[in-house]
Structure 1
């Protein structure tokens, strides 16, 4: 369900990127307009079938308005989910985002200012979803299977982007209700349908779920750190003060936040500017551009699953402990981004090699699935939603800044200028890898352990095979 939820969420997040090409009347504009979204950038030939007269600047502002709403509920969303449960919050936010998406064809005809507001609200509601999901990971994911589960669920984001971008292009020409409106209708309906199913089958904790067996419930609860077991039994976070100061000053928190920032810097740079690089430097035509631009996200999707499986295998077989596994995948992936620099030196005669290098670069980024992304739940599982909100808040900043920086560094769209973009991306990631290696932690932090006495037994050693997850306090959490 989380996999499909991420796919639906990214569907309503990126649907406008293609739809706007069909919506806008290109009369008076250049035959090709570069549209920047904080997740995808495209170079499409605009048809004259659209009836909306929006300037290029208005389109750019509209495509970026999502993130100005998205950043607002990152921190509150994680806190609300931790206090009152993630199930209802995620269901409500996805439903509201879906309803607004369905109204966009009508709103667009009213004026662009109304579209600005609509996209802002979609971003606002979407901002609470991802941190809330990490609350569920902290309560559902057995520690030695955590990396695989988080990576599989999060890979729905890449799947949603690929499906939405390719499907929206077809709907522009062959969709119902005039073509482009069907993009918003379908993605909005899918969001609402998913929300209904989500509310019917998902529970906040294994202890309250009616869709798993007693054996499954016992396996999950017994495998979790003792600090999380009380949360499951009480069905919510105990009514104690959240240690905000400890969370915000913890090296472990900032290790994940830095990892998020650096990964998203390159991720947003590539995903927003990749088609433009292929068009201006590698001279791919529009059709080839669209095909090859999907290869890097596809390799990212595959590598996320592979790296997460390898990470959990290393941990479950006790070949490597959790913290060294996290550091290995996070840092190795960033160092491999040296392929980015190589891409800047490939000539047009070897442009197919550039696609290979770019795909390897996004694959290296995907190693973060076994790095900082899974690490968010390691050191403070009961506050994982809040910590995810902090990290996602920091990680949203590159979505606003990185495409602008890339545009400023490439005023003439030359290969030499693009080298500077790749150099900067590689530098950001290498610095981030060093800082992550210094600051990262995997053991449950002392401030994440409550002092409330409980009567449940500690997990047995034969079930809890990773010693990092044992509480040092007997019968206290």
Structure 2
């Protein structure tokens, strides 16, 4: 290829166009990050807000509901929910979110993912705005609203992964997927801090204002999404001709000759031991995340005595810890595999082992630190840091096991992982009863979660594999061929970008 001017490139040797200063797909990367940030923020507002929503017993050491020391500015309505009712509220979102997972991939294949996401944003915005009104009437209205949100948001990740595949070359896929994962932690961090701050200070009416604010952010995001995003770069009027030809060049070489499997081999898939080892591991590590995500605000408040505002700051640090390792471990694992330093399966097992072992050590340490609140918080943050390492382990391995059934297999595996969202608060409610301030019961909860992580560590270490399974291969196409071809095209794109 002859040397070209810095602002020009000939992809078809006939047509030239200006090279944009910033490729439009980088804006799409930002929108992917924003999508999961908004999703997580709207979904998790309740996790901290519920501390302000639940009636505070006058006796600081009494049991029955969440014990919290709150600012006297609180004048908003509060509710006498016990731990069981709180568990149902926190878990209700995941009832429908879990149920839709198997079908979500199919929906994203059949319909325009941008339109599907836009409809999702509209419904979720309405649900978020009416949440304070719904809960004032009945706990059952609140649960219904949460279930509707879970149902419609269940299609978010299949839609985003579908769109990512259409927008980005192989060299950028890992980073785009990492942004999607990190957005969840970023959204949880921001909403934890903001909800705690606005609820503690009673600004704009206290906790209801947190829902109104998140609803407004969701609305703004939805409008930008509808105006600026399309399902692929070729139908987007904001993408330059240069970038369209650049991406078309690689799509032509990476998406041809990939016939799809004619029918889903359900029997072989559901009887696959390697797949089940991954599914169970995803569910168990998801349980650890969900316990911290939904119930640690209660622990910080009722056992460690952190006021609501400090509680929110600590929760923010938990998610920042997880997001930081999610952003780095995905690319690091890909680098190790691409350089041939470690085999694909060995890499996945290494990262998953680090993740699970770190969670186990962190949670067990919490059990033996007594009343040392600062060290306990540090260990909880470290458990989330180690959780993020799984982006180099169980997260990418599903696609590697079944390259011809990525959507179906991901939906099947993610169903179990998503179920942890309602299993976790239910489990903690059973252990605590109405004694949320019992340190002994919390220690039992942490020990159970840590013990389950050890089970996952053994299962994944023995049975998991990144090798394509016979039931999940693309017909008439060896995996090594497209991987090699992708690498060649990635180098071409990198060369074009550097010129």
Band of TM-score, shorter chain: 0.7 to 0.9
What is the TM-score normalised by the length of structure 1?
0.80
CA distance in 2 between partners of 1:381 and 1:35 (Å): 50
Verify: 1:49 aligned to 2:71, yes or no.
no
Q: Look up the match of 1:10.
A: 40
Q: Contact 1:32 / 1:44 at 8 angstroms: preserved in 2?
A: no
Partner of 1:301: 323
Pair 1:85–1:224, CA change in 2 (3 A): farther
Matches within 5 A, 1:427-442: 427-442=451-466
Aligned counterpart, 1:362: 384
Deviates more, 1:3-12 or 1:51-60: 51-60
TM-score (norm 2): 0.77
SS at 2:75 equivalent = coil
Is the Cα–Cα contact under 8 Å of residues 356 and 387 in structure 2 kept in the other structure?
Answer: yes
- Deviation string, structure 1 residues 427-475 (Cα, Å, up to 9, x no partner): 212221222233333344444455599xxxx759464379xxxxxxxxx
Contact kept, 8 Å, 2:186 with 2:323, in 1: the verdict is: yes
Number of corresponding residues: 447
Separation of aligned partners in 2, 1:423 and 1:319 = 36
Query: Which structure 2 residues correspond to residues 196-215 of structure 1 after superposition, within 5 A?
Result: 196-205=223-232, 211=239, 213-214=243-244
Cα deviations by residue, 1:400-451 (Å, 9 ceiling, x for unpaired): 2233333444566554444333332222122212222333333444444555
**Equivalent residues in 2 for 1:220-259, closer than 5 Å:** 220-221=250-251, 224=254, 240-259=262-281
Partner of 1:335: 357
Residue by residue over 1:375-423, the C-alpha shift from the partner in whole angstroms, topping out at 9 and shown as x without a partner, is 2333335533332322221012322223333344456655444433333
The CA distance in 2 between the partners of 1:34 and 1:127, in whole Å, is: 35
Asked if the contact 1:341–1:423 (Cα under 8 Å) also holds between the matched residues in 2, the reply is yes
Aligned pair in 2 of structure 1 residues 214, 244: CA closer, same or farther (>3 Å)? Answer: same
What does residue 119 of structure 2 align with? 92
In structure 2, the partner of 1:420 is 444
Give 1:474's aligned residue: none
| TM superposition shift of 1:367 | 0.6
Deviation per residue, 1:62-93 (Å, 9 max, x gap): 33322222222111112211333533323322
Distance 2:287 2:293 in 1: 10
Aligned mate of 2:247, from 217, 223, 229: 217
Q: Is residue 344 of structure 1 aligned with residue 367 of structure 2?
A: yes
Aligned to 1:472: none
Distance 2:366 2:203 in 1: 37
Task: Give me the whole-angstrom Cα distance separating, in 1, the residues matched to 2:226 and 2:173.
Answer: 23
| 1:2-30 superposed Cα distances (whole Å, 9 cap, x missing partner) | 21111111122122334455556x48776
Q: Which residue of the partner structure matches residue 395 of structure 1?
A: 417
Tell me the CA shift for residue 158 of structure 1: 0.8
Q: Which runs of 5+ in 1 are unaligned?
A: 231-237, 467-477
- Provide Cα deviations, 1:288-337, integer angstroms capped at 9, x if missing partner: 44433432222111111121232122123232233322221112211222
With over 3 angstroms needed to count, the CA separation of the structure-2 counterparts of 1:126 and 1:387, relative to structure 1, is: same
**Distance change >3 Å, CA 448–CA 408, structure 1 → 2:** closer
Give distance in 1, aligned partners of 2:303 and 2:409: 40
Match of 1:163 in 2: 190
Confirm or deny: 8 A CA contact 1:31 1:45 kept in the other structure. Answer: no
**Aligned CA-pair RMSD:** 3.6
Secondary structure, in 3 states, of the residue corresponding to 2:466?
coil
- How many angstroms apart in 2 are the aligned matches of 1:375 and 1:122? 29
Question: Which of 124, 140, 161 is residue 113 of structure 1 equivalent to?
Answer: 140
CA contact (8 A) 1:344 1:415 kept: no
Q: Determine which of 313, 317, 320 is the counterpart of 2:339.
A: 317
Could you tell me how far apart the structure 1 residues matched to 2:265 and 2:33 are?
31
The answer to whether the 8 A contact 2:88-2:425 is kept is no
1:71 aligned counterpart, secondary structure: helix
Aligned-pair CA distance for 1:116: 2.5
How far apart in 2 are the matches of 1:325 and 1:252? 16
Maintained 8 Å contact 2:57/2:67: no
The CA deviation at 1:163 is 1.0
- Whether the 8 Å CA contact 1:279–1:285 is kept in 2: the answer is yes
After TM superposition, the structure 1 stretch with the greater mean CA deviation from structure 2, 307-316 or 442-451, is: 442-451
Cα separation, 1, equivalents of 2:261 and 2:406:
17
User: What secondary structure, in the 3-state scheme, does the structure 2 residue paired with 1:306 have?
Assistant: helix
Q: Secondary structure at the match of 1:441?
A: coil
- Distance, in Å, in 2 between the alignment partners of 1:450 and 1:308 is 24
- Partner Cα distance (1:224, 1:252) in 2: 28
Q: Does structure 2 conserve the Cα–Cα contact (< 8 Å) formed by 1:325 and 1:371?
A: yes
Structure 2 alignment gaps of length 5 or more: 1-30, 490-499
Partner of 2:284: 262
